[in-house]
A and B are shown apart, each in its own frame.
Chain A
């Protein structure tokens, strides 16, 4: 495959129904009104030299290269800033224009190093290209005068350099930081000849507010901002379009490769989820894929205190199968199960659940959505009939009011956050409901109209008060409710919600949010135009997580904010393929497509296709499996690409359950925390090493494509097939596309999905079937999937996890921009430059009371356990609330979290743990034990390659 080069049309696409017709160099062209002459010329197949213009940024008109002549107009206007008009006659190539362009280029080159042959951008430099195009043959000014050739190079950022000597001050980087990313970290410092690009207040890139999204690097037309990987490895020679394996935004990328090595990941301008933007993780943090910690050979051992032994795939899989069979023979069919991965592909997830249902013969399959968005599935299925968000990401461009509840998009979903911030800068209003002052509350050119700083655990009380205000003040959409929703349930809900006890004034003491703010926010949501709700794990990871999702759906239906662009219910999914893993039947009660295992018609369809009898009863969820392990009823597990020993609550409960099992099979790219309790390790393949699809938070199915061969010799789907065959249930697939064809045959919402269509369309949003052959960007347009929308009563029930004198603070947990989930990937990249340990955020007043200062060690004790972290004193958290992340295993953040969970789905209550915090001088007991165990396991791993030990 050759290198993919996108054609840059110069200025952004204009969406207009009115077209204007013009002639450019005699070529007739029709463009939407408002389109620049530069873009019109490009669309006509002509090319005008340019440097400061690029399609992803608004026209700036500074480089003076895209000059044209227009009949009837004086001078030589810049075509990038000149709108095309009907009847316009444009000339792009004349003798005069050629002379002007050559002279402009002469000035640029007179202050630019002439080191093209040794320059890292050689072969990929717009300045070099334009010099060639305009026919520059001499530079008359020499380098004797003042110049910038000795300007210092900033190499502080781990991923890219800033070489000021090569800068032409076109401002593309500055504008990309503003328009694309919305961080405003870059500026042009000084005037005239002294103008230079500056990060922050003349800081280094690393010390500035730069978030390393790479937008500036992508926009730079020279070698000024350049990936260090390109500097070190040279220009790539081929490209592969694929999908990021980090968060649920699912950005499309062009993996640029040389040989078998990825040189860089460039965000795909045609990617429908990201439109050419990226974040520091997807753009730069891919080095983990070839990290020295990768385990590339299968390993087995009898006991977890034994050294690992490297074996062939055949031996490892055969041993796993024999162990699973032995356990089932001894303890019963239901004594084993498995966990699918939200980091693996749809096809792989589908195969794992198929293996469990068909080869294990039970429904003990679950997935990491259990601990994140399972309440989304329950809540949205119950109210509107489909377990997925209602919109596409583009929808935010039409939103007038946005509520962000329990989500931190600038850290968790940065590329979506950039689009949201852009819309906010255009004037949309923002309501943030979050115990913490997240960055969206107040940032560069963004300020929330309301920050509802609620106490953790009071989401449902809050959403009820908003609904109460809207209904009792008559702000609801009566016509929508009458036409689209069930009348009986609505009346019951009205009787509940209109009670005074649900008013903001009555609930103020519960939520901690001033009643006036709540009334104002409710009125804004109901009357401010198109209103959209975006939410995250701050909604779902509560004892009332599902109730809160029901409440969100109630609110959207009440105000008619569903079924069109700019509105809707938007769960921001955590991992890249959480949506897909759920779609593929990873839950113990549902077959692919969210159909209950007791549904005879559906089950029989699968039985016919799979040629096996299926269990009609739900299986065990992850917490049920762990509880059953503690009772010696669950003895074997197959875990693909998940790390429950770090990510799941009450770590000690999880690890003792794993220790009690007789066969733990972990398939992963690293020896993760769970694998340290495993008996069989199967090497996983990173997203760069296989074909398949991911489904992002907007139901968008996108291809991932193999960039390099699997380091362990097999893609994950191939390993699952091997294991299934060894278990006596052969699967016959030659390529993941055949798995997708089977999914499409069995799942109505995927009926129209296949690899040919994905290759043609780029991506598809399900449902994609006969009724929606090109997919469905926005759902529930004329009716809900379940027919009429169903209002559900959402009584606020306080969590049983209460603060006391012994545990006076509430701990809530979250994520940070540079790290991802359990950190297994990002900890093995240079992202540790920004964040190398989990810290405990504590409010200054709580810190002072305890004599705690930033950087000092504090013990955090809950009813589940105790750990020690360094403190970070900040008013981002409110008094009474502390906060940490869980990216580093040694932190033991989940040693503290409890077994409390959502009533409907058992999603853990990560967001509310009563704790005490006090200064300490040494690590917690658990951390000492962890350190010893970790050391032992790494030593056992080191012996894996030694010959003939066992």
Chain B
């Protein structure tokens, strides 16, 4: 899938959780939301986009949340 669309989606999610004062809770909020609602192929792609391609365009919170995502089996 188009990485820029996934980047926008995860940044939008982060914009919601960024107001959470506890950073760990914010990270858990974003990563939990992605795990709960994203197809594993999308999770795999965003993880690879961060790990392999540098993750350009991802916000700080988005990067932190993707970093803790469990890599899907698919």
Contact surface of A with B, Cβ cutoff 8 Å? 334, 363-364, 492, 496, 543, 546-547, 588-589, 596, 598, 617-620, 624, 627-628, 630-631, 633, 793, 795, 797, 899, 901, 903-906
Is the CB–CB distance between A904 and B36 below 8 Å? Answer: no
Interface centre among B13, B36, B37, by most chain A C-beta atoms within 10 angstroms, is B37
A627-B2, A793-B20 given; A617·B13 CB < 8 A? no
Question: Residue B39 contacts which of A543, A598, A620, A905 (CB distance < 8 angstroms)?
Answer: A620
Please give, as numbers and ranges, the residues of chain A lying within 8 Å of B21 by CB-CB distance: 492
Please give, as numbers and ranges, the residues of chain B lying within 8 Å of A364 by CB-CB distance: 39
Please give, as numbers and ranges, the residues of chain B lying within 8 Å of A589 by CB-CB distance: 36-37
Interface of B (DSSP majority class): helix
CB-contacts of B16-74 with A (<8 A): 16, 18-21, 33, 36-42, 72, 74
Complex-state Cα separation, A899 to B72, whole angstroms: 26
Is the CB–CB distance between A903 and B15 below 8 Å? Answer: yes
Is the CB–CB distance between B20 and A618 below 8 Å? Answer: no
A631-B1, A899-B5 given; A334·B39 CB < 8 A? yes
Complex-state Cα separation, A30 to B63, whole angstroms: 73
| Number of A-B pairs, beta carbon distance below 8 Å | 61
Is the CB–CB distance between A797 and B39 below 8 Å? Answer: no
Complex-state Cα separation, A631 to B6, whole angstroms: 13
Complex-state Cα separation, A906 to B34, whole angstroms: 12
Is the CB–CB distance between B37 and A617 below 8 Å? Answer: no
Can you report 11 A-B residue pairs in the complex whose CB atoms are below 8 A from each other? Answer: A547-B16, A588-B39, A589-B36, A596-B36, A617-B74, A624-B1, A627-B2, A633-B41, A793-B20, A795-B19, A904-B37
Is the CB–CB distance between A904 and B39 below 8 Å? Answer: no
* Interface contacts beyond A624-B42, A627-B2: sample of 13 additional A-B pairs, CB < 8 Å, sorted by A: A334-B41, A334-B74, A617-B39, A617-B74, A618-B37, A618-B38, A620-B39, A624-B1, A631-B2, A795-B18, A797-B15, A904-B33, A904-B37
Please give, as numbers and ranges, the residues of chain A lying within 8 Å of B41 by CB-CB distance: 334, 628, 633
Complex-state Cα separation, A82 to B20, whole angstroms: 64
Please give, as numbers and ranges, the residues of chain A lying within 8 Å of B42 by CB-CB distance: 620, 624
Please give, as numbers and ranges, the residues of chain B lying within 8 Å of A543 by CB-CB distance: 12
Interface centre among B9, B36, B41, by most chain A C-beta atoms within 10 angstroms, is B41
Complex-state Cα separation, A627 to B13, whole angstroms: 18
The list of the 10 closest CB pairs from A to B, nearest first, reads A903-B12, A795-B19, A797-B15, A617-B40, A620-B39, A627-B1, A631-B1, A793-B19, A903-B16, A903-B13
A547-B16, A795-B19, A906-B9 given; A630·B2 CB < 8 A? yes
Please give, as numbers and ranges, the residues of chain A lying within 8 Å of B15 by CB-CB distance: 797, 903
How many whole Å from B15's CB to the nearest CB in chain A? 5
Smallest CB-CB separation from B5: which chain A residue? Answer: A627
Please give, as numbers and ranges, the residues of chain B lying within 8 Å of A904 by CB-CB distance: 13, 16, 33, 37
A793-B19, A795-B19 given; A618·B39 CB < 8 A? yes
Complex-state Cα separation, A901 to B74, whole angstroms: 26
Smallest CB-CB separation from A587: which chain B residue? Answer: B37
Please give, as numbers and ranges, the residues of chain B lying within 8 Å of A588 by CB-CB distance: 39
Complex-state Cα separation, A110 to B61, whole angstroms: 84
Please give, as numbers and ranges, the residues of chain B lying within 8 Å of A906 by CB-CB distance: 9
How many whole Å from A801's CB to the nearest CB in chain B? 12
Complex-state Cα separation, A492 to B17, whole angstroms: 13
Please give, as numbers and ranges, the residues of chain A lying within 8 Å of B12 by CB-CB distance: 543, 901, 903
Complex-state Cα separation, A617 to B69, whole angstroms: 14
How many whole Å from A543's CB to the nearest CB in chain B? 7
How many whole Å from B14's CB to the nearest CB in chain A? 9
Question: Residue A496 contacts which of B2, B9, B19 (CB distance < 8 angstroms)?
Answer: B19
Complex-state Cα separation, A899 to B7, whole angstroms: 13
Is the CB–CB distance between B16 and A624 below 8 Å? Answer: no
Please give, as numbers and ranges, the residues of chain B lying within 8 Å of A596 by CB-CB distance: 36
How many whole Å from B41's CB to the nearest CB in chain A? 7
Please give, as numbers and ranges, the residues of chain B lying within 8 Å of A797 by CB-CB distance: 15-16
Please give, as numbers and ranges, the residues of chain B lying within 8 Å of A795 by CB-CB distance: 16, 18-19
Please give, as numbers and ranges, the residues of chain A lying within 8 Å of B40 by CB-CB distance: 617-618
Please give, as numbers and ranges, the residues of chain A lying within 8 Å of B18 by CB-CB distance: 795
Complex-state Cα separation, A618 to B34, whole angstroms: 10
Interface centre among B12, B38, B39, by most chain A C-beta atoms within 10 angstroms, is B39
Please give, as numbers and ranges, the residues of chain B lying within 8 Å of A905 by CB-CB distance: 37
How many whole Å from A749's CB to the nearest CB in chain B? 21
Is the CB–CB distance between B16 and A618 below 8 Å? Answer: no
